Structures are given as structure tokens and as C-alpha cells.
Amino acid sequence: MSLPAGSTIGIIGGGQLGRMLAVAAARLGYRTIILEPQADCPAAQVANRQITAAYDDADALAELAAASAVVTYEFENVPVAAASALAAKVPVHPPPRALEVAQDRVAEKQFLNGIGIKTADFRAVDNDDELTAALRAFSGSGILKTRRMGYDGKGQRVFRNMETGGFAGTCEAMSNVPLILESFVAFEREISVIAARGLDGAVAAYDPAENVHRDGILHTSTLPAQIRQETAAAAQAAAAKILSSLDYVGVIGVEFFVLADGSLLANEMAPRVHNSGHWTEAACIVSQFEQHIRAIAGLPLGNPGRHSNCVMENLIGDDVLRVPALLAEPDLMLHLYGKAEARPGRKMGHFTRISRRS
């Protein structure tokens, strides 16, 4: 049964993704309530209510459950225990299991490999000896990442051709947290697929975007990606497999490396709407945000087809100074996140330039 208009959707997390979900929910006639410790957060500025508390605050979670017909989240580091406690009282989509998988890079790769989706080779690393052994296994090249809480390239270190050891102190320098060494992938390009699964099990995948990162942060997403049709279809099929394997409801973002022969390695999955899917609000009838709300509300999924080619670009820090000039362009959609202060590295907004579909 679908959620009646006027119902309240709870959203854990108050950043720009929560903001865009709240706007999409409002367009479909729903109310939203945001759980976020930071007052006047980007999402709460456009929602009906904010509970200003930590994500694992038991009273706040009880209040959120009581006030919401369904609960979702906008970031993957929601404490699994909080999501599971909520799920005992109110439907939570996507399922807490998706958080569990996505929060640990080792669990994520084991899950992906287990359902037949290839990733870079990897080894769990907890000390310098394990790092040395893992680097030897990967011929001296690899990327060392934190297993948990890493995003936008933070907490990462690249090793190239360093087979001989001398890694004493590396794990300490990374705060002795659990790590993963991934073999270095000589990819040709990076793509991502945004896909959704409805309450009825229907799946809809958008076209893959081609992504360029700068300083570990997404810079642009371009449609169409310069890949073969079979590669695009394989990426969409992999995303669909992830969704059905997790009995997932909602939108997911899956990032892939494309190798020279067109084959794919999955890099990571985000159990939420994704920065590399922002282009959908300008180049599709139904954006990833509306698609997510449709899915969790039990409404039919929308058409993920793309009516235009486009390039989405993030506005980071002082990039917001470009806004007046950008607004003068005719085929450009701008989205600002309501953040007062433009700190370096902070995502302030994005824009999408559309062009006729070739």
C-alpha cells in the first residue's frame, strides 16, 4: 500500500541530500522531519520539523519513530544500531543491512564478490607487518584506506612500486584504525549508476554518469559516459543485483572503475541518493530524489530515461562566487544548499548544463 499524501517521512541526516529529498517529498504531498544535531541544517530549512539531537540519541529516535510513517537516511554512516532500533517500530528504507555492508570497505567487497561483482583485490590490514605482506602481494602498489568512515578520498594513502618494506609507523600515522589495502587499478575512466528498487521489487536504473574527481571530491558528472553499450548495461545489471540481493527499497549509488577492455570493477556503493546523480534533476523527468521518495512511499517508480545530455559540476567553497555568471547561462539549472559559510572543500551547491541529446 502506498503512503497517503500528507504523511510524514523521517530523514536521518540534515545535509544537502536530505534537503533535496525533503523538497522532492513536498512535491509529492508529504511532510518531512529531520533528525540532525546541527541546528538550522540545510535539510531543516526546507522541511516541516527538525529534531536537533545526535543520530544515536534514544529519546530522539523514539520521537522520530512516533512522528514518521516511514524513515530513511541521507548518509551511510548512520549507526546501524539506531537504524535497527527504529526498524522495530517503523519501516526503515533502505534496510539497515545495506548500512552494515556499506560502512566497512572489507564487508562491502566481500558482499560484492559474493554476489559475483568484481572489485579490486584487497587485504584487511591492521598493522605494519600486514601492510608489508599485502603490498608484496600487490607488487608494491596499492591504496591504503580506512575501512570505516572514509569519504571523498579522506583517510587514504597511495603506494607505488614500494615492494621493499620500510612501512613502520604507517598504521600509527593512520590512527591505528582498521585499514584495507586495495590493489591499484589502472582504470580508464570512472562511472556510477544510480538505481532504485520499489517496495514491489521493480528496479529502475539511470544511465551511467562519467565522473571526474578533484582532490578526492567529485568535480563533474557527464552524460553520456564515453563507454560501450555493453559496459553501461553491465553496470546497470550489477546495480540491480545489489538491490535485489539486499531486498533493498530506495535509491542506491554504485561507483565503478572502467578498464581498458570495457570490463568493470565496483569501487563502492552508497545506500542513498548520490552526488553523481544530481544531474537527474535537470536531465530526467523524475530525479533521483523523487525516485527515492516514490520507492520508500510505495509509489510506482518513475521513468529513469534521460531527455538531455548534460554535465553536472559541484560548487566547492569559493566556487559559489561564480553563481551570478552561471545564472546568466540559458541552459543551466542551479542548486544551492543554504550553507552560510563557504569553507574550502565544502560542497555549497551544484549546477547542471543541459544540451540536446545526440
DSSP string, 300-320: PPPP--BSEEEEEEEEEGGGG
C-beta of residue 296 within 8 angstroms of C-beta of residue 72: yes
Cis bond upstream, residue 224 (ω within 30): yes
Report the nearest approach of ligand AMP to the CB of residue 298 (Å).
32
> CA geometry: angle at 349 spanning 347 and 355, to 5°?
130
Ramachandran assignment for 25, one of left (phi > 0), alpha (psi -120 to 50 degrees), beta (any other): alpha
> Please, what is the minimum distance in Å from the beta carbon of residue 118 to ligand AMP?
12
Phi, psi of 191, rounded to the nearest 5 degrees: -130, 165
Which span sits near ligand AMP by CB under 6 A: 182-190, 220-228, 274-282, 325-333? 182-190
Residue from 108, 190, 207, 290 that binds ligand AMP (CB under 6 A)?
190
Rounded least distance, CB 121 to ligand AMP, Å: 9
CA atoms of 38 and 335, how far apart (whole Å) = 21
In the complex, least distance from residue 184 CB atom to ligand AMP, rounded to whole angstroms: 5
Nearest to 244, CA basis, from 196, 191, 286, 295 = 196
Residues from 147 through 166 that contact ligand AMP (CB under 6 A): 150, 153
According to the binding rule CB under 6 A, does residue 76 interact with ligand AMP?
A: no
Least gap, CB of 120 to ligand AMP (angstroms): 4
Number of residues that bind ligand AMP (CB under 6 A): 12
Closer residue to ligand AMP in complex, CB, 68/192? 192
CB nearer ligand AMP, residue 185 or residue 251: 185
The answer to whether residues 159 and 139 touch, using CB atoms and an 8 Å cutoff, is no
Per-position x/- string for 94-123, each x denoting binding to ligand AMP as judged by CB under 6 A, each - no binding? --------------------------x---
> Which residues neighbour 7 within 8 Å (Cβ) at sequence distance 6 or greater?
30, 31, 69, 70, 297
Round to whole Å and give the CA distance between 282 and 331. Answer: 10
User: Which neighbouring-strand residues pair with 316?
Assistant: 347
CB nearer to ligand AMP: pick between 8 and 211: 211
Amino acid at 92: V
**Closest to 335 (Cα-Cα) out of 277, 281, 288:** 281
Type of residue at 316: I
Binding string, residues 25-64; x marks residues near ligand AMP by CB under 6 A: ----------------------------------------
Which cell numbers in the block locate residue 135? 603490498
Whichever of 120 and 131 has its CB closer to ligand AMP, that residue is 120
Contact set for ligand AMP, span 197-236 (CB under 6 A): 213, 216
Minimum CB separation from ligand AMP for residue 274, in Å?
Answer: 11
Kindly identify the residues of this chain, within the stretch 265-304, that bind ligand AMP according to CB under 6 A: 267-268
One of 117, 185, 284, 333 touching ligand AMP (CB under 6 A): 185
CB atoms within 10 A of CB 128: 16
The interface region with ligand AMP, picked from 11-19, 127-135, 179-187, 193-201 by CB under 6 A, is 179-187
Closest CB 181 distance from ligand AMP, rounded Å:
9
* Stretch binding ligand AMP (CB under 6 A), from 30-38, 52-60, 161-169, 184-192: 184-192
CB of 95 to ligand AMP, least distance (A): 23
How many other β-carbons are positioned within 10 Å of the β-carbon of residue 329? Answer: 11
| 3-class secondary structure, 163 | coil
**Interacting residue ranges for ligand AMP, rule: CB under 6 A:** 120, 143, 150, 153, 182, 184-185, 190, 213, 216, 267-268
